[in-house]
A and B are shown apart, each in its own frame.
Chain A
Amino acid sequence: MSTQQTSDDARTPGGALKEAESRLHYAVRELSQASWVITLLSVLVALVVGALLILATNPQVQATMGYFFARPGDFFLTSFEVIRDAYSALFRGAVYDWQAATPQRAIRPITETLVNAVPLILAGLGIAIGFRSGMLNIGGQGQIILGATCAAFIGYAFQLPLGAHLLLALVGGALGGAIWGGIAGVLKAKTGANEVIVTIMLNNIALYLIAWLLRQQWFVQTGSNQPISASVDESARLFGILGTGFRLHAGILLAIAATIFVWWLLERSTLGFEMRAIGENPEAARTAGVNVPKATALVLIIGGALCGLGGAAHLLGTEYRLAAGIAGTLGFDAITVALLGRSRPLGTFLAGVLFGGLRAGGVLMQAQTGTPIDIVLVLQSVIVLLIAAPPLVRAIFFLPHPDGSPRVRRRRRLRDQQAAEAASEPAPTQEVSK
């Protein structure tokens, strides 16, 4: 490096951190640009890995292993049956149950899938907005907790007319999430605080905040010592849209509307243009007159609002009562959903439905075949792992590299080497001629 050009930045201790951050940006961008093919293949590989794990833990299969060399056919047949049963139960639990007694019950699984998908989609969109803007929002969990908490409190502590009550509860939920995301956003905008660290810490704060609130009588309004709140009023609940027998509620409409909104925001609005610009190249955005701190704060505020809305929809549509475990692993699953959806609105929607389905189907799979539901977690994890490492997927399926196949390249290099060696053979005679 020329000493003349050593910039002020490189000499300050912050330089290294900045570099690490730009690498993070790069990684986020890479992840959000994985191709559809890679995504689909990742799901496929995950199912294979899941199958292997099911086999490894299944007692029947283990039994046939005992006499594998005597009758290998038994092993393969049992293996096939076990996997078929497990995955068909997964499918029946998630999409369509052809063994159900009534048509109504046959289509119930898909509605359950959508019920699970609602908070995943909403929160996933919130995370995806961050990814597209170059920000790694790990705070979905905290934002969901805050959203659910605000929505719940408005839901049972206020008496309001039908419609207005629900609206206020949803807005309250979004606002709760927006504030939680906004803390990280404003800190990053004003001081450059790393959003990853701040949002992770805010998750913990949210966890202890809800634990504390649930011990306050003014908050829970139940008259008991149980750390669980009162139930939200009917007027604040997300109404069912398929009648009795189904849990599917209006939250799914909200999720669809949010998906369309996020698409419009990112692809059509000037704010979205700013957000994408700071995600791709903050320097150029600044030079082009974008108020980078403002846009940074807005990204996390809007993302937080969507996560908060996810928490609110989960509470007002499914849970009705606030408990310490309200968010479950939603906040982290939402990150996975956003990654799997390549941070695109439609992709995130579909990924949310897939994860909702895995969860719904996992329950039936466990109940009917005894396959632990944890397999679903493995599937989810393997999917993300593979999406994060496109070269691995390409290697598994012998796909060409986008910049030309490494195999072909290796072959070509070998050929070149041979050619070079052949060409260099007459070299000694040339050396003499000076």
Chain B
Amino acid sequence: MKLQLKGVTKRFGTFTANDQIDLTVQPGEIHALLGENGAGKSTLMNTIYGLHSPNEGEILLDDKRVTFDGPGDAVEAGIGMVHQHFMLIPVFSVTESVMLGYEPTKTAGMIDFAEARHRVQEISARFGFDVDPDAMIEDLPVGAQQRVEIIKALSRDARVLILDEPTAVLTPQETDELISIMRQLKEAGTSIVFITHKLREVRAIADKITVIRRGKIVGEALPESTETELASLMVGREVNLATQKEPATPGEIGFSVEGLTVVSGSGKVVLDNVSLSIARGEILCVAGVDGNGQTELAQAILGLRSAVAGTISLDGTNLRRMSVKERLNAGIGFVPEDRSTDGVIPAFSITENFVLDQYDQQPYSNGVAMRPSVMREAAVNQTSRFDVRLGTVDDPISTLSGGNQQKVVLAREMSRDIRLFLASQPTRGLDVGSIEFVHRTIIEERDKGTPCLIVSTELDEVSNLADRIAVMYRGVVVGIVPGDTNRDVLGLMMAGVPVEEAYTQAEQHHTILGEADEEAQA
């Protein structure tokens, strides 16, 4: 089916999220919509899917004008969408999930399970999905859950399929499977729009690339364009994708974790006997698919979760029995994963956020009363050193962009003498310019001789920063490998394959993205 947008504009209040968007997706085309976080990609897709109604412009399906009052209409018209966060119910079986909302019925409104099950099997077989219709959603790996979402869309005869950041939660190998599924769908004539901010994917998969920046279409590109070309189009200026860094000069061990085990509230082991050590002047990145214990590792190190066993030692002191405050005072600089809930207090001023975890320390207070003028002066100095774009430091931090908020957090953590820099997803949701800045700052901190532990699910970030990489899978460290390890190997390790086996398997099977990588290097 041909999908065409003409002058689609969507405003929220005074903010224009999509400005005069023209887009044509031909039948059987894989069309990538590339843009930074906040560029307006998801808004545009939600408009197509009937979740928003456009202020201006029109949507044409096979040259017929359509208007949707809700997703129901869009589904009716043949549009399917797989959201970044899956809309599945954990305790449902695959069949139940697929038929939910569109249950085939027998006489007297009885649900026709056999028919529903048959339909799942039929679609699954047609595209070689390998999904058991009776499996429970919660037992399936993320990649399979995504396939269930795709089956769901196909079972409603979707002929335009929208995939919103489909690879965000996948290992490179799972991404590979997704790519082959997308190609099969394309063969069958389905049009695919897929949204992403990852450059290497677009180049490997898309037939056509549309780049969107600040709500406007800024250009179209062919998959033959280089990553640098795509990046500059996406950001609007020349960008340097790989951060320049000197080889590490590791000193003695500054921080180590030994046999750390953490059990969640529901009794599940979320960290299983994790051991790591980081030298001064070294960056250790923890890679892995989201939800494999990395968050818990960072929380346990800071003391937000208590460990049932193991030691956490910083310069030879065991931190395990200490409170969060004692650990911060012992020299942990922490950048949390979720900035808006854990990193800053939106209603507090920039100054107050700048001292958020040192408010009772010298020189900001004498322990009882705070010293507003000292706080303010330090905030002014450090925010300018970290190039935070702000009005005054007395404004609420919520008035800043995400990138600038993150810079305030970094300024806070790095403006004191720290013995360990611990950051979880330090660039999540940031624009390319801020990402460059954050990466440079982290490398500077390393060069000052601070051990750095960076948790990241973005392989690009990991290979940019890491001197060594620890890969986690289901709460276990699968292995620790050098920073320049091949992506295929990392991908296999992220799926739980032990180090040596991962190397041999990666030799035999290149992923599509891995190949694209090597071509780019050649």
A: residues with CB less than 8 A from B are 1-6, 8-9, 11-12, 29, 264, 268-271, 273-274, 276-277, 280-281, 283-291, 403-404, 409, 413, 416, 419-420, 423-424, 427, 430-431, 434
Q: List the B side residues contacting A286 at CB < 8 Å.
A: 304, 324
With A270-B367, A283-B342, A284-B344 as known contacts, state yes or no: A277 contacts B169, CB within 8 Å: no
**Is B49 at the interface (CB under 8 A from chain A)?**
no
**Is B291 at the interface (CB under 8 A from chain A)?**
yes
Pairwise interchain contact B13-A409, C-beta atoms closer than 8 A: yes
With A416-B55, A420-B56 as known contacts, state yes or no: A284 contacts B342, CB within 8 Å: yes
Minimum Cβ distance to chain A for residue B343 (Å): 6
The 8 A CB mask of B242-275 against A (1 = contact, 0 = none) is 0000000000000000000000111010000000
With A4-B145, A4-B169, A287-B336 as known contacts, state yes or no: A404 contacts B13, CB within 8 Å: yes
**CB neighbors of A among B306-362 (8 A):** 323-325, 327-329, 334, 336, 341-348, 352, 356-357, 359-360
Q: How many angstroms between the C-alpha atoms of A124 and B169 in the bound complex? A: 50
**Is B65 at the interface (CB under 8 A from chain A)?**
yes
Interface stretch (choices B38-46, B68-76, B85-93, B178-186): B85-93
Pairwise interchain contact B58-A1, C-beta atoms closer than 8 A: no
Pairwise interchain contact B323-A419, C-beta atoms closer than 8 A: no
How many A-B pairs fall under 8 Å by CB? 129
Pairwise interchain contact A289-B345, C-beta atoms closer than 8 A: no
With A3-B86, A273-B352 as known contacts, state yes or no: A291 contacts B359, CB within 8 Å: no
With A4-B142, A420-B56, A423-B7 as known contacts, state yes or no: A289 contacts B369, CB within 8 Å: no
**Is B519 at the interface (CB under 8 A from chain A)?**
no
The 9 closest A-B pairs by CB, nearest first: A289-B325, A288-B357, A3-B90, A270-B360, A287-B342, A281-B345, A289-B324, A288-B356, A2-B85
B: residues with CB less than 8 A from A are 6-7, 11, 13-14, 54-58, 60, 63-65, 85-90, 137-138, 142, 145, 169, 264-266, 268, 290-291, 302, 304, 323-325, 327-329, 334, 336, 341-348, 352, 356-357, 359-360, 365, 367-370, 372
Apart from A270-B365, A270-B368, 4 more pairs, CB < 8 Å: A4-B291, A284-B341, A286-B304, A289-B328
Q: Report the nearest A residue to B327, measured CB to CB.
A: A289
Pairwise interchain contact B323-A289, C-beta atoms closer than 8 A: yes
Pairwise interchain contact B365-A280, C-beta atoms closer than 8 A: no
Q: How many angstroms between the C-alpha atoms of A434 and B64 in the bound complex? A: 11
Q: List the B side residues contacting A283 at CB < 8 Å.
A: 341-342
Q: List the A side residues contacting B343 at CB < 8 Å.
A: 284, 287
Q: How many angstroms between the C-alpha atoms of A431 and B63 in the bound complex? A: 6
Pairwise interchain contact B356-A424, C-beta atoms closer than 8 A: no
Partner among B7, B57, B88, B266 whose Cβ is within 8 Å of the Cβ of A8: B266
Q: How many angstroms between the C-alpha atoms of A3 and B92 in the bound complex? A: 11
Q: List the A side residues contacting B57 at CB < 8 Å.
A: 420, 423
Pairwise interchain contact B341-A281, C-beta atoms closer than 8 A: yes
Q: List the B side residues contacting A1 at CB < 8 Å.
A: 85-88
Q: How many angstroms between the C-alpha atoms of A427 and B64 in the bound complex? A: 10
Partner among A270, A291, A427 whose Cβ is within 8 Å of the Cβ of B58: A427
Partner among A2, A277, A420 whose Cβ is within 8 Å of the Cβ of B55: A420
Pairwise interchain contact B369-A268, C-beta atoms closer than 8 A: yes
Q: List the A side residues contacting B86 at CB < 8 Å.
A: 1-3
Q: Report the nearest A residue to B366, measured CB to CB.
A: A270
Q: How many angstroms between the C-alpha atoms of A404 and B13 in the bound complex? A: 7
Partner among B7, B145, B345 whose Cβ is within 8 Å of the Cβ of A280: B345
Pairwise interchain contact A431-B324, C-beta atoms closer than 8 A: no
Pairwise interchain contact B56-A423, C-beta atoms closer than 8 A: yes
Minimum Cβ distance to chain B for residue A235 (Å): 33
Q: List 12 A-B contacts (CB under 8 A).
A: A3-B86, A12-B266, A276-B348, A283-B341, A284-B341, A284-B344, A284-B345, A286-B304, A289-B325, A409-B13, A413-B55, A430-B6
With A2-B85, A277-B348, A289-B323 as known contacts, state yes or no: A431 contacts B65, CB within 8 Å: yes
Q: List the A side residues contacting B58 at CB < 8 Å.
A: 424, 427
Q: How many angstroms between the C-alpha atoms of A248 and B44 in the bound complex? A: 67
